[in-house]
Homo-oligomer: A and B are copies of this chain.
Amino acid sequence: MKKEATANLNNSDSGKDDYISRSKQLLNKYKVKIGDSVKLISNKGDYTGIIMPRYESFNDNYVVIKLNSGYNIGISIDNIINITSEKLSETSVNVSLNPVKTDEPHNGKFVLTKGINHDIKKPLLSSSLPKILLLTTGGTIASKIDYRTGGVTSILNASDLYSIFPEISNYASIYPEFLFNEYSENLYASHWSLLSERISYAVLHEQFDGIIVSHGTDTIHYTSSAMSFALQNLSIPVVLVGSQRSSDRPSSDAFTNLLGAIKFITKTNYAGIFVCMHHTSSDETIACHIGTRVRKNHTSKRNALQSLDHFPFALIYDSDIVCNTDLKRINTRNNISKNLISKTSFDDRVFLLKFYPGFDPSFLECFSNFKYRVIILEGTGLGHVNKNCFPYLEKLIDSGIVIFMTSQCIYGRVQMTVYDTGRDLLDLGVIPLSDMSSETAIVKAMWALSNSSNKKELVEIMRTDLSNELSNTSPLIS
């Protein structure tokens, strides 16, 4: 079997990665191609690095090389004397762990790619600036294009990331730290425990003004929910940051999202768990979402994450931050880190079951044979499933499994008193979760299961708003 590979993240990028006409002819002439490690000799100097794909910001008169510093540099075809292929080594791809070199030419002769800072002479760490712990956990923000396959792989570590974005040193002293390196679809509750324990330690024993967690976007909203329950009464902001384009692509949103998080930490006074990503497809506005009220709604757009209340908690502009303080119960920052409630364990005996027409109710019988203690039923509309499920649900509830209802509608709230289907389900003991998203509900259930000793406690935790995950709950039948 042969792998089909492409670096395109969406259709609109189609064809933009390939060199065409003049530049392509040049590459063919020297028998080199995208992804090759090369030595390039030009009228203006010699450069060693990797031939990068062409992006929308380049015209056809340049060849783009990624230097060892992490910079991309565009060299005019007219100035190129020779290109020779060098043996590709993994180390030549990785950027330096040290501060980026300042001796790379980057004057008007070169096209420096979008998002890379030209001024790299400032100190990387300055004691007078706010101090931010940067934990990396993997994902696109810590990924780069594999120029041999054209796909994206997860290989950068925290220090690499910092080297690529030297501009962040203008705003804060950043302390990068590698925590783990996983695509976010591979995370388990144990990763949430590890991350929340590290944050808890930092809050209690280290003196940071804020913490940034770089994270894959696929499940960033699940992790932000997990942190929101595991770490309550935070004295500082903890901001998860993802990106939809890998950090080494000129079109990457990693830098702007990171910078948005840094601005939110250094220029506002809020504490708690947040997520920063693009608000629109342009770089101009970064949205800061509340950890429990955000969802990945688009597979590829930069503004893939959306607040479940349609509008984020804060919008971060170039020099301004506008917060929706009326809408949410959010704590302000304080020095009383000892108030932190840190309960970092999760119990993953929870199943998320999305209902659909044609679902065979007898499938529910299989849960008697599994370890699950909680089922999150993602129903239709206001919280409904086929009436033929009722006897099976009743049996599961009788056996001690706790069943909560959310809606596959995404927006709005479960209300099971409106239709007789809902009232019958309430009668059976199915418990509605109001406007909690299915994604947050599954995470909260794993946390609640680990932090309760009986069903009554579990239900009480699930139906109490702890971190803005619920705006209210309708009464239960009792």
Contacts and interface: CB of A to CB of B under 8 A. Distances in A.
A363 B375 CA distance: 14
9 nearest interchain CB pairs?
A: A299-B412, A218-B380, A218-B381, A185-B384, A348-B358, A354-B354, A298-B411, A298-B412, A299-B409
The A interface, classified by DSSP as helix, strand, loop or mixed, is loop
B186 A477 contact: no
A72 B52 CA distance: 70
Interface in A1-18: 1-11
B297 A410 contact: yes
A381 B151 contact: no
A61 interface: no
A124 interface: no
B419 A300 contact: no
The residue in A8, A298, A409, A446 that gathers the most chain B C-beta atoms within 10 A of its C-beta is: A409
Interface string A235-247: 0000000000000
Interface residues of A, number: 97
Interface string A403-443: 00001111111110111111100110000000000110011
Interface stretch (A278-286, A329-337, A385-393): A385-393
Contacts of A371: 360
A153 interface: yes
A313 interface: no
A203 B198 CA distance: 66
A415 B185 contact: no
Interface string A286-314: 00000000001111110010000000000
B2 A222 contact: no
Interface of A: 1-11, 143, 146, 149-154, 183-189, 216-219, 222-223, 296-301, 304, 346, 348, 350-360, 363, 366, 369-371, 378-388, 407-415, 417-423, 426-427, 438-439, 442-443, 446, 472, 474-478
Given A358-B446, A446-B358, A296 B381 contact: yes
Contact of A185 (B3, B346, B379): B379
A186 B388 contact: yes
Nearest to A348: B358
